[in-house]
Amino acid sequence: MSHAELRVQPGLTPAKASGLEGVVVADTQLSHVDGERGELIIAGSSAETLALAEGARFEQVAARLLALGTGEGVPDLEQRLASARSAAFTRIASLRGALALPDAMDALLAATAQGSAGADAVSVLGALPVYVAAAARTRAAQPLIEPNPGLGHAPDFLSMLGLPAHAARARALDAYWITVSDHGLNASTFTARVVASTGADVMPCVVAGLGALKGPLHGGAPGPVLDMLDATAHVEPRAWLEAEIAAGRRIMGMGHRIYRVRDPRAFVFERALARLEHEDARGSTVALRLAHARHVEQVAEALLSERHPERPLRANVEFYTALLLEALGIPRDTFSAVFAIGRAAGWLAHVAEQRRTGKLIRPASRYVGSAPQ
């Protein structure tokens, strides 16, 4: 067979370097991203409505997602997650090695693999904040704090981190987790679905999702966004941003595969931050940081539009995630892991939906290597 024959395999679409852009690989009832209009629908409602509604709790949205994914009602999720957090804490002593890993995502990945093998979806979802908080406290050489089953997922997580968990802060974290709970077929959700499509059980699907989320092009940007805000706090942002681009680096928190307008999740976080500004004792610090972030965003947007007039590169979810999680006092090396706690609701719903409605995901590749002699 000649090399030319090997390269032209009938029936295969050339992959190009597309990153699967625009390729549909699943039908889903869970969420929809409209990148042109800047709209995000989660479980049939706009993300903004869900996240900013009075009394909105992460557990309610997780229950809706899981119900859609499994095709069955998910009663008492709040209580079941509280029990799962308590159960996870009883296993913590056996996870010391995993929790002591220096990187927050590595620690979460290892603790989930070791501590949640064979567990069902609710047990894994409930265990994640316990592992994240225990790893953060371990890194800070602080004693671990037990979960309190009388609290909701958000205030209990803040409390396990040793942070104030009053209503305004819990509400902001609930708004954050609801907003990031699902987002179409992003890289980590796709990864989780691929693993689910092989018939694997829940834990490996979540561990695979965590692996995909770790990268800076996906969930790893918010820490570097804060580094950028710190670095530009006392200098003109434009010169700093130009130097970053000249050094071959990307501006973190800017650009998106799907959105051609500003990421609607950035608006939700701005609103949640504005609420915190009024209700929290640290409100004035939050306000100053927010004003600086808006300025950096405008300068970055202008600079990127000069360089890429063909491709709008606007603020994405990670830009204001950084500010919101910072305002809650969450350590910046923990941001991606906190993102994972919320996104896991979507992963688990997609895993259930994939099992119920999908088949093995096994795309093709196009061989461009050399032919055997």
CB of 310 to ligand COA, least distance (A): 9
Positions 217 through 246 that interact with ligand COA (CB under 6 A): 217, 221, 245
Q: In what helix (H) or strand (E) does residue 157 lie, and over which residues does it extend?
A: helix 153-160
Write out the DSSP string of 62-124: HHHHHHHHHTS--TTHHHHHHHHHHHHHHTGGGGHHHHT-SSHHHHHHHHHHHHSTT--HHHH
123: contact with ligand COA by CB under 6 A:
no
Rg (C-alpha) for the chain, rounded Å, is 21
From candidates 188, 316, 336, 354, binder to ligand COA by CB under 6 A? 316
Q: Which of 24, 25, 70 is nearest to 348 (CA)?
A: 70
CB 34 within 8 A of CB 272: no
| Nearest residue to ligand COA, scored by beta-carbon proximity | 255
Query: Which is closer to ligand COA, CB of 59 or CB of 182?
Result: 182
CB of 300 to ligand COA, least distance (A): 8
**Distance between the two ends of the chain, CA-based, in angstroms?**
9
Q: Which of 10, 95, 12 is nearest to 365 (CA)?
A: 12
Give the binding range for ligand COA (CB under 6 A) out of 95-103, 250-258, 274-282, 345-353.
250-258
252: contact with ligand COA by CB under 6 A:
yes
105: contact with ligand COA by CB under 6 A:
no
Query: Which is closer to ligand COA, CB of 238 or CB of 275?
Result: 238
SS3 string of 231-265?
HCCCCCHHHHHHHHHHCCCCCCCECCCCCCCCCHH
CB 240 within 8 A of CB 249: no
Positions 318 through 337 that interact with ligand COA (CB under 6 A): 318
Give the binding range for ligand COA (CB under 6 A) out of 41-49, 304-312, 328-336, 349-357.
304-312
Q: From the centroid of its chain, how far is CA 138?
A: 23
From candidates 166, 278, 311, 366, binder to ligand COA by CB under 6 A? 311
Query: Which is closer to ligand COA, CB of 69 or CB of 222?
Result: 222
209: contact with ligand COA by CB under 6 A:
no
Query: Which is closer to ligand COA, CB of 166 or CB of 311?
Result: 311
348: contact with ligand COA by CB under 6 A:
no
256: contact with ligand COA by CB under 6 A:
yes
Give the binding range for ligand COA (CB under 6 A) out of 31-39, 75-83, 170-178, 306-314.
306-314
From candidates 32, 91, 238, 250, binder to ligand COA by CB under 6 A? 250
From candidates 254, 272, 325, 337, binder to ligand COA by CB under 6 A? 254
Give the integer Cα–Cα distance in Å for 248 and 331: 28
Q: CB burial class (10 A; 0-12, 13-18, 19+) of residue 331?
A: middle
Pair of tokens at residue 35? 């990148």
CB of 205 to ligand COA, least distance (A): 21
List active site positions: 256, 318
Pair of tokens at residue 144? 């671990």
φ, ψ of residue 368 to 5 degrees: the values are -120, 20
Interface residues with ligand COA (CB under 6 A) are 19, 217, 221, 245, 250-257, 304, 308, 311, 313, 316-318
